Chains A and B, each alone.
Chain A
Amino acid sequence: MVVNEKIAIDHGLKKEEFKKICDLLKRVPNITELGIFSAMWNEHCSYKSSRLHLKKLPTTGKKVIQGPGENAGVIDIEDGDAIVFKIESHNHPSFIEPYQGAATGVGGIMRDVFTMGARPIANLNSIHFGSPQNKKTKNLLRGVVHGIGGYGNCMGVPTIAGQTSFDSSYNGNILVNAMTLGLVKKNKIFYSKAAGLNKPVIYVGSKTGRDGIHGASMASASFDEKIEEKKPTVQVGDPFTEKLLLEACLELMAGDSIIAIQDMGAAGLTSSSIEMASKGNLGIEINLDKVPCRENKMTPYEIMLSESQERMLIVLENGKENLARKIFDKWNLDFAVIGKTTNSKNIELYFQNKQVANIPVNTLVENSPMYDRKWKKAKLPKKNRIKKETFTKLKIKDVLTKILSNPNVCSKEWIWQQYDHTVMGDTIQKPGGDSGVVRVHGTNKAVAATVDSSAVYCWAHPLSGGKQVVCESWRNLISVGATPLAITNCLNFGSPENEDNMGEFVECVQGIGEASKYLNFPVVSGNVSFYNQTKEIGIKPTPSIGGVGLIKDHSKMVTMDFKEINNLILIIGKTEGHMDQSLFSRSILDEKNGPPPEINLFNEKNNGETLLQLIKNDFVVSAHDISLGGMLTAISKMCIKGNKGFEFNNPKLLMSEIEYFFSEDQGRYVVEINPKDLKKVINILDKNSVHYDEIGKIIEKDLVINQKTKVTIDELKSYNTNWLKKYMS
């Protein structure tokens, strides 16, 4: 087949991009080469629309061992230990085929982590679906949850936290973001940079089939009515093989045979071989006849573009082939020497004794396109003026009932009970809290992790929204007593070719950058998913932030369940009554306009660090951050978890009760303390100029909101737990 412009455009390349390829090669590429260019130059692999902006994120810090650019980020957790972590999207495939799409998303992110030598110790996920009334939502949710569980449970890695939301903007494009944390010794981290000439290039894992060809290209385009035809581009997962691959790789990594290792993820053999060569400034030569294939008569084009799962590419030290082969034989995995490193700085492919591709590596990587896309700045919307009567007409109990059973607030137990969250025997805080927490096996340390997003805030004002998500992640870590260390981000947006969507991206990234810089909470890894859009309709901008923190002594971990009758409750941070974009305004008043709550980074940092100080001094009995649904929602959840009641003292309010209870002002926490510690606590809060309110005490039963309003804990529980169970049954 002679390649021409039309074929290039069918591969998702633009006219100018095809011309650039011809100029770089000084000839027209053959079909295999064109396939390789299209795989390397698509949005998913090249970050061509986002690179310019991602460069502005803070990525370094005292605790950062490896920032973005490797398979995953790495942070120091002392004593020679390090945590490897990353979040990644699998949105497009999960909408086409929810089970396999979600499963291979989980498989892919775990591979990224163990490629670096780390044993995965925790999984998290952030999943977003269309409106519950949309006819596809229920099946997509069920399929995604089964897929995440199917893969993670089989691997024996606990799924310790997550986030699920529903919004009609995801009706045609759901989001599935999977995150993994792995534990590694600092001196045993493996990288993807090849080094040395004539070193054997090894293929291990599953055989290569025709599944997932052009998966990365599919993930770089919008959906239209022909979406069903894209099913063959979805990969098929085999968690059993991945479990074997994990054990085999870690066994080989215990020795010193490996020079470089890279998993075959998006764009399969193509991107893995090219990335290793590019980082090592080397060439690579591959004999495609040696690649273990699952099907007959696979062409070089298919072999290079297949996204079959559970495969790895390794550059070994000379003479270590037999030792390595023995390990992979033991685990019943394919092992083949398929090529070697060269000094040509080209990727050279041979098939049936003929050269079928010869491309300079730098044309695929450094010379890949980079765009400074046009984008529109968003204005801060005007505040809504809500009439006083609107609030006084409402009964607090009715509002609370509706909010607790709202799909975005209600208990997600139906979901996380399907994930094994206790395997490995180190989960000390299960899903449903502010962060999941796992012990560092055999030590007194523990690692906390959370994943968050606030699409509504980001949609209303991307800059504030971007900041808010980072702050929420920080608060969720602090609430369990962890010192926040670093984040990974998964940036889910519509088409970058649309100025509004591109603007949302640019300003969310700016917000994320400002907050993470201020909080010293650097971004060490991440991924961008554009084109979450069906025809002209894009999703709400949804950056997901995965935060990781360290608890040096896990006996000091804090949970959110109310614990002791007569203990006092303080609210740290000021309640100002910001209602716009709150769940109350959106779901009860049906008011969708207005600015999101403001972020004050000084207060955020000061409040958080002061709370950590209180926790370290053992003054905090339970804690929970105030987020979606406001203060009363947070308190209700603490009552439910602890099976205890709570009584408000009669506050003198400058605002209506509704504003007081349901506003979503930021930087706030609910904290339980023993009355005997009150003076000391207040002393620390005052010394740090932290605003606080003492709002009431824990009682045996019932949530007593005011003299007229009382709700039993059983009522709270049933509002909170019934919706999802009923919806899914």
Chain B
Amino acid sequence: MKSSVITFPGSNCDRDMDVALKKFGFNNKMIWHGDHELPKSDLVVLPGGFSYGDYLRCGSMAAKSKIMNSVINFANSGGLVMGICNGFQILVETGLVPGVLLRNKYLEFICKNVFVKIDNKDNPYFKNLNKKVLELHIAHNEGNYFCTSEQLKEIEDNDQIAISYSNKDGQVEKEFNPNGSLKNIAGIFNKKKNVLGMMPHPERMIDKSLSSEDGSIFFKNLINNIK
């Protein structure tokens, strides 16, 4: 399986993602933001970090990078594109997934483990995953998901909510919402569910020395689904 991770100026989880993808069997390539063409890929990942220093608005400048035309075409033709953290922010700026990511409710960067309930398993990312809740890690300042009520209705009607902040039993309540996200949304799909944007970092939870192995479960399942 071939994957591509895009490096933007200021990306800083690109290496971590490369390590994770390779560990679970992807043949991964690092792609420079200034390139025009994506190599042949089964999965494209927009990694976390601070592309362009988060200046102007998180993800806004990276969304206009040369390589993004190629990524957008790839997504529109049904290719799998996953944006993590800053990658999610870039995805909303391109319009590939709906909504925006505002500053966290308490105006502070948050770095901690969270539980997320998987809301939709009818897609290549979570299909066949035999857990309903994952423990993952968040590290962001702008993860407070927001959209208009019309957009929300459309998102819900299409089952586009991918994961929601919850407790370890999968209860989605306000008290488990770390950043003020609308409906506790931690990740969403586009309509066709080939594009996934999410704030949590599965690539930081990939072996037993780290604080959870649920990232491993996610990646193992993902590569099996793509095969």
**What is the 8 Å Cβ interface bit string for chain A, positions 318-336, against chain B (1 contact, 0 not)?**
0000000000000110000
Question: Known interface pairs A153-B139, A240-B9, A243-B10. Does A423 touch B53 (Cβ–Cβ under 8 Å)?
Answer: no
B204 interfacial by beta-carbon distance below 8 Å? yes
Bound form: Cα–Cα A416–B15 in Å: 23
Interface hit among A254-262, A424-432, A458-466? A424-432
The minimal Cβ–Cβ distance linking A239 to chain B, given in whole angstroms, is 7
Bound form: Cα–Cα A332–B65 in Å: 14
The residue among A154, A416, A419, A427 with the most chain B CB atoms within 10 A of its own CB is: A154
Q: Of A155, A416, A428, A554, which is within 8 A of B12 by CB?
A: A155
Question: Known interface pairs A155-B12, A418-B108. Does A423 touch B139 (Cβ–Cβ under 8 Å)?
Answer: yes
B185 interfacial by beta-carbon distance below 8 Å? no
A417 proximity list for chain B (CB < 8 A): 108-112
The minimal Cβ–Cβ distance linking B101 to chain A, given in whole angstroms, is 16
Question: Known interface pairs A149-B109, A420-B139. Does A243 touch B50 (Cβ–Cβ under 8 Å)?
Answer: yes
Assess the A154–B50 pair: CB atoms within 8 A. yes
A422 interfacial by beta-carbon distance below 8 Å? yes
The minimal Cβ–Cβ distance linking B86 to chain A, given in whole angstroms, is 10
The residue among B9, B12, B53, B111 with the most chain A CB atoms within 10 A of its own CB is: B111
The residue among A240, A243, A420 with the most chain B CB atoms within 10 A of its own CB is: A420
Bound form: Cα–Cα A420–B109 in Å: 8
Q: Of A240, A418, A420, A439, which is within 8 A of B53 by CB?
A: A240
Interface residues of B in 103-144 (CB under 8 A from A): 108-112, 137, 139, 141
Assess the A240–B50 pair: CB atoms within 8 A. yes
| Chain A interface, number of residues (Cβ within 8 angstroms) | 31
Q: Of A239, A418, A424, which is within 8 A of B50 by CB?
A: A239
Q: Of B49, B54, B109, B209, which is within 8 A of A418 by CB?
A: B109
**What is the 8 Å Cβ interface bit string for chain A, positions 392-424, against chain B (1 contact, 0 not)?**
000000000000000000000000111111111
Residue on A nearest B15 in the bound complex, by CB: A424
Q: Of B54, B55, B111, B206, which is within 8 A of A421 by CB?
A: B111
Bound form: Cα–Cα A538–B4 in Å: 56
A61 interfacial by beta-carbon distance below 8 Å? no
Residue on A nearest B51 in the bound complex, by CB: A240
The minimal Cβ–Cβ distance linking A573 to chain B, given in whole angstroms, is 30
Interface of A is mostly: mixed
Assess the B15–A153 pair: CB atoms within 8 A. no
The minimal Cβ–Cβ distance linking B18 to chain A, given in whole angstroms, is 10
B21 interfacial by beta-carbon distance below 8 Å? no
Assess the A425–B203 pair: CB atoms within 8 A. yes
Assess the A554–B209 pair: CB atoms within 8 A. yes
A419 proximity list for chain B (CB < 8 A): 109, 111
A156 interfacial by beta-carbon distance below 8 Å? yes
Question: Known interface pairs A153-B139, A240-B53. Does A425 touch B109 (Cβ–Cβ under 8 Å)?
Answer: no
Question: Known interface pairs A153-B50, A417-B110. Does A244 touch B9 (Cβ–Cβ under 8 Å)?
Answer: yes
Q: Of A241, A418, A555, which is within 8 A of B111 by CB?
A: A418
Assess the B16–A425 pair: CB atoms within 8 A. yes
Residue on A nearest B203 in the bound complex, by CB: A425
B54 proximity list for chain A (CB < 8 A): 154, 240
A609 interfacial by beta-carbon distance below 8 Å? no
B16 proximity list for chain A (CB < 8 A): 423-425
The minimal Cβ–Cβ distance linking A152 to chain B, given in whole angstroms, is 10
B158 proximity list for chain A (CB < 8 A): none
The minimal Cβ–Cβ distance linking A127 to chain B, given in whole angstroms, is 16
Bound form: Cα–Cα A605–B201 in Å: 42
Assess the A238–B53 pair: CB atoms within 8 A. yes
A422 proximity list for chain B (CB < 8 A): 111, 137, 139, 201, 204, 210-211
Question: Known interface pairs A439-B209, A554-B209. Does A418 touch B9 (Cβ–Cβ under 8 Å)?
Answer: no
Interface residues of B in 33-75 (CB under 8 A from A): 48-50, 52-55
Assess the A428–B111 pair: CB atoms within 8 A. no
B13 interfacial by beta-carbon distance below 8 Å? yes
Residue on B nearest A156 in the bound complex, by CB: B12
B206 proximity list for chain A (CB < 8 A): 425
**What is the 8 Å Cβ interface bit string for chain B, positions 1-18, against chain A (1 contact, 0 not)?**
000000001101101100
Bound form: Cα–Cα A332–B61 in Å: 14
B217 interfacial by beta-carbon distance below 8 Å? no
Residue on B nearest A430 in the bound complex, by CB: B211
The minimal Cβ–Cβ distance linking A161 to chain B, given in whole angstroms, is 14
Q: Of B12, B19, B109, B139, which is within 8 A of A243 by CB?
A: B12
Bound form: Cα–Cα A241–B53 in Å: 8
Residue on B nearest A416 in the bound complex, by CB: B111
Assess the B111–A332 pair: CB atoms within 8 A. no
B141 proximity list for chain A (CB < 8 A): 153
Bound form: Cα–Cα A242–B12 in Å: 12
Bound form: Cα–Cα A238–B9 in Å: 13
Assess the A154–B203 pair: CB atoms within 8 A. no
Question: Known interface pairs A420-B111, A422-B139, A425-B203. Does A239 touch B13 (Cβ–Cβ under 8 Å)?
Answer: no
The minimal Cβ–Cβ distance linking A103 to chain B, given in whole angstroms, is 12
* Closest A-B pairs by Cβ, 8 of them: A156-B12, A240-B53, A154-B50, A425-B16, A420-B139, A428-B209, A418-B109, A422-B204
Can you list 6 A-B pairs, Cβ within 8 angstroms, ordered by A? A419-B109, A421-B111, A422-B111, A423-B139, A425-B16, A428-B209
Known contacts A153-B111, A240-B9; 9 further A-B pairs (Cβ under 8 A):
A146-B108, A153-B141, A418-B108, A420-B139, A423-B12, A425-B16, A425-B20, A430-B211, A555-B209
